[in-house]
Amino acid sequence: MSSSVTYTRLPWAETYSEIIDVRSPSEFIEDHIPGAINLPVLNDAERAEVGTIYKQVCSFTARKIGAALVTRNIYQHLSQHFAAKDPDYHPLVYCGRGGQRSISMAVVLTQIGWQVTVIDGGYKTYRNYVRQQIEHLPAQFNYQMLCGLTGTGKTHILEKIRQRGAQVLDLESLANHRGSLLGGQWPGKPISQPSQKYFESLLVQHLQQFNPQEVVWIESESIKIGQIYLPQSLWQKMRQANCVEIQLPIAARVQFLLQEYPHLITHPDVLKRKLEKLKNRCGWEKLSQWYQLIDAGNWESLVQDILHCYYDPIYNHSTKSYFSKAYRFLSIPDLSDCSIENVLDSLLPNYVAIQ
């Protein structure tokens, strides 16, 4: 005997075999519940076709055509994705507003005999939840800011902190951007940032995994990472956080950046175009000097001068403006594992590296 569809407005309170987003691929890409899979009952072209018929012809014709398309697509999913699911399979299904698309899928699955839960209100219910969490959740944690000039390996050190078992919020990883002029798109190195909405979904997911009784380590960032904006609730807590500043010799910083950004060397023309965006700040004379260094392949001198003329002044101004609370300075000779481990021994005396 088939079971009936269950509805919930609190899908995050339970565990499911799978989370299925039946919206179109473009809706899914813009935002979805992290971990969900996309099994659209109407793809983008089909959804547009049905919508046009609904507006220009009549709703009855649109529903008939839509039902045929939905039935065909659900058949494909049944014969492929669902073919090997066992009798205890219990999926969560949602569409845009908890309407016909999710119900169409859920009814078929329950007729097979599976227990199916549908989000009442669909994605809209989930999005409202994320917006509420974004407003209040970041305030529940105390943050420890890791600061340092460009090239001091802050992201690299954060990963070492995470490996020791401490709580780390890597915003650049969530935003899929290195957070600087040279941290975006490059030939052969495609970078696609998430939408603002999906970034917020990922941020909520990560914060919910943390213990409010323990500090959260976070890298000093501007309020904008690439095209992504940090929520004000998190930004204000970051500005109030105590800071640990990593200090590294300029030569070590240059070598680290050349290792981290090899595409600077392999795509000199792209590098020139990116540096051209600094003409209003640095002037054409300085740009010409940089172009000469690029043409000569003098990469160490180039990187050092860009740090001296652009990145370091920007960092010093921003940290004084935004992150001015309780500094602790830690000097290291290089970013070797040994040097970093020595620093972490003083920063995290109670944490042992995870083997």
How many angstroms separate the CA atoms of 52 and 58, rounded?
9
Question: Quick check: 156 and 318 in contact, CB under 8 A?
Answer: no
Question: Quick check: 243 and 220 in contact, CB under 8 A?
Answer: yes
Catalytic residue among 58, 95, 147, 338: 95
Residue 257: CB atoms within 10 A of its CB come to: 22
One-letter amino acid of 251: A
Question: Quick check: 199 and 30 in contact, CB under 8 A?
Answer: no
Residues facing 229 on adjacent strands: 224
How many angstroms separate the CA atoms of 289 and 292, rounded?
5
Altogether, the residues listed in the chain come to a count of 355
- Annotate 223-280 with three-state secondary structure: CEECCEECCHHHHHHHHHCEEEEEECCHHHHHHHHHHHCCHHHHCHHHHHHHHHHHHH
How many angstroms separate the CA atoms of 224 and 179, rounded?
8
* DSSP H or E run through 341: helix 337-347
209 phi, psi to nearest 5 deg:
-85, -10
Question: Quick check: 116 and 109 in contact, CB under 8 A?
Answer: yes
Judge whether 95 counts as a catalytic residue. yes
One-letter amino acid of 32: H
3-state helix vs strand vs coil in the chain, percent to 5: 55, 15, 35
Residues forming the active site? 95
